[in-house]
Structure 1
């Protein structure tokens, strides 16, 4: 800068920030998404999901005396309220966890005031099994990657399973056996391993997507319907479902189901594999299974996703950035990058 100048930069809070949350992890999102914005010096407005707001209410009761008035706030509303929040001139920083469709709508509204927006959106994530994989571990990983405890309602679920031709039948059999152990049950029963979908409307969407896939040539290996148990038939439960004989261009392999539906795709040529893996509009996570470390690193670089596991799936690690590419979002969460994103950098130059 020269002998007569001092230059330094500082980070300042935005002021009022808003975080709009999804329904699939209501208390997890409500509790873990407040720290970065407030630690950076902002006040925060939380908007929990209209489908599941009660845990956020309870959290606010417990935190009543933890912050000065006005620092942590909660509103519940539908789409009109969300639009008012996003467009408000005194809310310059917006964060969303939700669908790509909602993300595009919020980005369009926020762009009218050039607001800073970060988003964790949907995913149509790939689980890739190489012939060099430990078959038992890869099969168990494919099951775990479906996040069946919450009925597959996870943006990070690896709902497309790409199995190499040479191990296809073996892996498919093991995955079917593993997913079959998850049976819908009452949420108050400690033995329950799998919950329900968010609503009957959403179950209807899942049913239509599975029916369309079968009409297009997919084969139901397990599931494919609501439970036969009359206690669950008229409630938003859906059986763990595996669809085999899926091709990468089918809607079921392109669109996020957000349910317990695993699409299984056979592969043989690696070039064709990555063309299929990267053909979707999403790029959130991927899981790669092989005991060949060079092969694993090469595959991880070729997958167009923001968060990749090798011989693992579904894990998040405190301090490690999580976020996607393409229609899966903007920005990173769960890390220093998240904290800094709730600040503005100001550069100051002083003549001495």
Structure 2
């Protein structure tokens, strides 16, 4: 595969930097054009239209108008369209991955994997959709009772910056294949691959079925409050999730929220040390600079293995994850998304030091030359001697900062593990099956690993406990949630 390492704007930039509404690109009515900055070198990539209130309402009206026609398209035909989308994505995989690497600074190798995973999701849900069926009941001989599932209508999707193309793909496919129309608001920092996607697949859909906006708070407020929207979903922070819920409540909208985590990896004294070290390093998602909601950023090590594991973890991180040019295939750690992210991480590192934690490695910006010197890079950072009441163990940093805690008493351990407001993912390491099963019951998280970490599996439900959100996505469960039940009673006399 050709190496991409020149610091020039990617050739695959969207040719139409407008808002994608009703089957074509448009200039904003009451919005504006926003510069998109690459975190690789701090330079402007292009300008993209951001939606205002009027623009957002226009997209919703287009989706509402298109709904009746789209719901009447047969399920099998909608599935065929999704398979065509999957093929187009694969045909354009390299350019889409390159756009994301430029836009958010994550390594091109991992962006290629995300594009392929996106195509797999289009194929998966094209296959699963026919499995969403109704029910029949025989209560008496003179009546026929049955239930059918119908699409909801207009679904609004608000997606984050950390997995731009993947987020766009998996948020599109499930409502569409079930007969809903969608308005997707992509993140302010990372809109490029979503608009390029609509340039290459837009003709596969009737006008208004898929609408894509970039925008900020004003656009999001319209999506979560407008009466035409039947369901709104968000991947984002807890404060934004609460705001979306309050806004959606006035019109009793359905909501699905995935709101991040402060996830724990728990290691017992009988852990397989090589596997454990690998899992700790993998679980932090250094490829994305820790900008992943499922990162196991709190590591609880039993005191009997603590010192040796810390030593091996730090050595492995420093050997395997050095920030570098995201456009090079061999790079295993790229940039944070923007300067605000750098300042946030810097603040938490200072807090960790002030609270008395020990900096085992990292803690600052790496020394990079040339174009990269203007980028948003941060070295992998590990704190030891962390206590659970410290802010670096309580709050989601969303950056390359790992907190390692030592434990000895199991009841105290689980009290601390579950003391945070989040409950998204968790990982448990032990060679004892009974210990693993008892531990996973005590872990307050919606997506758990045993003797592994980080990996997500196609078709299995993902979502959190507590303030990490509500609802489950990425699975057959989500397809059912994109429908509503109608019960019918038919007299046979």
Q: Structure 2: give runs of 5+ residues left out of the alignment.
A: 1-138
TM score, norm. by length of structure 1: 0.98
| CA shift for structure 1 position 119 | 1.1
Verify the 8 A CA contact 1:44 1:71 in the aligned structure 2. Answer: yes
| 2:467 corresponding residue in structure 1 | 327
Match of 2:276 among 138, 145, 159: 138
Q: CA deviation at 1:202?
A: 1.4
**Structure 1 stretches of 4+ moved >4 Å:** 230-234
Q: CA deviation at 1:41?
A: 0.5
Partner of 2:339: 200
In structure 1, C-alpha distance between the alignment counterparts of 2:423 and 2:179, rounded to whole Å = 32
Q: Deviations over 1:156-201 (max 9, x none)?
A: 0000000000000011011101211211111112221101111111
Find the aligned partners of 1:66 and 1:292 in 2 and give their Cα distance. Answer: 52
Aligned pairs for 1:41-120 (under 5 A) are 41-120=179-258
- Secondary structure of the structure 1 residue equivalent to 2:435: helix
Question: 1:350 deviation in Å?
Answer: 2.0
**Whole-Å Cα distance in 2 between the matches of residues 305 and 233 of structure 1?**
39
The reply on whether 1:310 has 2:450 as its aligned counterpart is yes
Note the C-alpha offset of 1:229: 2.8
Q: Structure 1, residues 254-276: CA drift from partner, whole Å, max 9, x if none?
A: 10010010000000111001000
Measure, in 2, the Cα distance between the counterparts of 1:37 and 1:235: 37
SS at match of 1:266: strand
Q: Return the structure number with greater relative CO, CA threshold 8 A, min gap 6.
A: 1
Per-residue CA shift, 1:316-339, capped at 9, x if unaligned? 112211110011111001111111
Query: Within 2, Cα distance between the matches of 1:241 and 1:18?
Result: 37
Q: How far 1:3 sits from its partner (Å)? A: 2.4
Higher mean alpha-carbon deviation, 53-62 vs 226-235, is at: 226-235
Counterpart-to-counterpart distance in 2, 1:102 and 1:340: 25
Deviation by residue 1:212-237 (Cα, 9 ceiling, x = unmatched): 11111100000011113355554211
Deviation for aligned residue 1:12: 0.8
Structure 1 unmatched runs, 5+: none
Contact 1:226-1:233 within 8 A present in 2 as well: no
Are the counterparts in 2 of residues 130 and 163 from structure 1 also a CA contact under 8 Å? yes
Q: Tell me the CA shift for residue 90 of structure 1.
A: 0.5
Instruction: Give the distance between the partners of 1:317 and 1:115, measured in 2 at CA.
Output: 29
Q: What is the aligned residue count?
A: 352
- 1:293-334 deviations in Å (ceiling 9; x for gaps): 110011001000001100111111122111100111110011
Deviations 1:6-26 (A, max 9, x none): 211111111111111010000
RMSD: 1.0
1:5 and 1:351 in contact (8 A); partners too = yes
Quote the residue 2:130 is aligned against: none
Contact 1:300–1:308, Cα closer than 8 Å, also in 2: yes
Task: Choose from 148, 161, 165 the match for 1:10.
Answer: 148
Residue 263 of structure 1 corresponds to: 403
Displacement of 1:4 after TM fit? 2.0
